[in-house]
Structure 1
Amino acid sequence: MPTAAKTAAEKAEVKTYFETTGFDRWKRIYSDSEDVNKVQRNIRIGHQKTVDNVLVWLQEQGNLQQRSFCDAGCGVGSLTLPLAQLGAGSISASDLSAAMVQEAERRAAETGVKPGQISFLASDLESLRGRYDTVICLDVFIHYPQAPAEEMVRHLASMAERHLIVSFAPYTPLLALLKGIGQLFPGPSKTTRAYTLREDGIVAAAAKAGFKPMRRSLNKAPFYFSRLIAFERG
């Protein structure tokens, strides 16, 4: 199958998963629900570490009230909602899954987010448009092979005025081995394809768009590995 067609097919599979079987599973993972297994609990812990890192970095940058943000791949609002509560000027939150976006909207209403502070949109990353002070994309590239992920980094960077923050599962021999072992467990309802990415390729893609890495973090818990990089326009 040609690369473009393969990528489109995989994206359709991810969309279907997160609007059916995967929606309930990931809604529980990204919540306080006790109805999660050990693997899901560790993914929750790891993802929260990544979100917490981003929130600390953004606060250190300062001036949140005067900045606009794009949370690309917002899921159920794990980053969007606390960022809004910190007083972010405006946030555009989008996700491939309409079900995830609806859940994020519901949670925003529950937390009393100021009307108009967040605009929600069901959209794939490729279709996003606009200009923002800061564009953030967390734990989304695990669904993209290396070449499409690098292209997406360039696209997201084109929307960012000053800051770009991304996270991804970094390629290492150990993770490659774990991924191979994971593929021994069948069941398309349990997961979608997972990709590890080479960090030098992601950094090079951002550099082509005029961004340089300023901060890095590796967040991990059992069954969760995420390289977080904050770029600034140089």
Structure 2
Amino acid sequence: MAPDQLLEQKQAEKQEVKGYFETTGFDRWNRIYSESDDVNKVQRNIRIGHQKTVDEVLAWIKDSGELNEVSFCDAGCGVGSLSLPLAEMGAGSISASDISEAMAQEADRRARAAGLDMGKLNFFASDLESLSGSFHTVCCLDVFIHYPQQPAEEMVKHLCSLTEERLIVSFAPYTLLLALLKGIGQLFPGPSKTTRAYTLKEEGIVKSAEACGFKLVRRSLNKAPFYFSRLIEFRKA
């Protein structure tokens, strides 16, 4: 595919994801990432799996002792699943963004309802490509599902450019089984399948971070039915 065609495809997919999470996607995922009982079995298991990933990230950060006075960037924050508990734990400052303004506004609403210090929290709408600044720790959880392999590797490099010390990312890992299940699922499209879902090869993600001077320090695989997420922490070498 020619470079111009690739760019057009990326822009089209970005608008598709943004439009989805501003409308039906917001309603669906806001329920999933809440305590609502208005979810089906698949959505409930996704909730459980995502929470496992968030809990592990929080445990890693707590164990490192790097929390107070530390600046965090929560890239693709959704409704604040990571940012809110980070703030409750005493993070120095948190810059949290989501491509969906509705998601960012809901995260802000939840933070205020919880009585968190909004002087340390900033929620705003932005795509990952537009993020700038410098942060001790950058986290990007379960967002790469919207990125094919090459754009995901480019995004890792962009996130590394924002990171002073630690980058934590999660993504759906490529396996033959998941590729088979995905192929079967695409034969039976349903109303909930409104955006593409990509699995990624870990080797490419790791090499992209290494090319920016980061090294893999720990990794894990979190899974629940209908949820698989490879979690990796990189540190500046």
Same fold flag (TM > 0.5): yes
Q: SS state of the match for residue 34, structure 1?
A: coil
Residue equivalent to 1:122: 125
2:99·2:127 contact (CA, 8 Å) conserved in 1?
yes
Q: Which runs of 5+ in 2 are unaligned?
A: none
Shift of 1:63: 3.2
CA distance in 2, matches of 1:168, 1:190: 18
**In the alignment, is the contact (CA less than 8 A) between 1:168 and 1:227 conserved in 2?**
yes
Q: Residues 167 and 227 of structure 1 are in contact (CA less than 8 Å); yes or no, is this contact kept in structure 2?
A: yes
Q: How far apart are 1:77 and its partner, in Å? A: 0.2
Gaps of 5+ in 1: none
Is 1:46 equivalent to 2:49 in the alignment?
Answer: yes
TM-score for the superposition, normalised by structure 2 = 0.97
After TM superposition, the score normalised by the length of structure 1 is: 0.98
Give deviations 1:16-46, integer Å, cap 9, x for gaps.
0000111000000000000000000000000
In structure 2, the residue matched to 1:57 is 60
Instruction: Give 1:188 deviation, angstroms.
Output: 5.4
Matched AA of 1:152:
M
Contact 1:69 1:133 survives alignment (8 Å): yes
Aligned length, in residue pairs: 234
> What is the Cα-based RMSD across aligned positions, in Å?
1.0
Q: Give 1:181 deviation, angstroms.
A: 1.5
Distance 2:187 2:67 in 1: 45
Residue 73 of structure 2 corresponds to 70
Work out whether residues 139 and 226 of structure 1, in 8 Å CA contact, stay in contact via their aligned partners in 2: yes
Matches within 5 A, 1:1-234: 2-187=5-190, 189-234=192-237
Deviation at 1:154, TM superposition (A): 0.2
Q: SS of the residue aligned with 2:68?
A: helix
Q: Which runs of 4+ in 1 moved over 2 A?
A: 187-191
3-state SS, counterpart of residue 103 of structure 2: helix
Structure 1 range deviating more: 178-187 or 143-152:
178-187
Q: Quick check: 2:93–2:121 contact (8 Å CA) kept in 1?
A: yes
SS of 1:77 mapped into structure 2? coil
